[in-house]
Amino acid sequence: MNQRETLVFTAFTGVTFVQDFSDFHKYAEELMGRPILTHQFASAELAEQIAAAAKPEFLRICKNVSNYY
């Protein structure tokens, strides 16, 4: 799994696959198209929005893996 994939999986599942939270923070801001303050990550609503934004890429990754095997 490459770095981008770990960011996508973290965003979609809510399980931390990254070693450096700042990388995920930047990715989440990219997904949402706006700055996110650190304390906002405690919001279930924000987690749902991030997961929804990451879903298309998550599904592409999963499809590529299933095509591999």
pLDDT in tens, 28-54: 999 999 999 999 999 999 999 999 999
- Residue 33 gets the label, from left (phi > 0), alpha (psi -120 to 50) or beta, of left
Can you give the pTM of this predicted structure? 0.89
Show the tokens assigned to 39: 């304390």
How many whole angstroms separate alpha carbon 21 and alpha carbon 26? 9
DSSP label of 38: G
- pLDDT score at 51: 98
Other CB atoms within 10 Å distance of the CB of residue 2: 8
How many whole angstroms separate alpha carbon 53 and alpha carbon 58? 10
Provide the CB-side half-sphere exposure for 25 (13 A, CA): 12
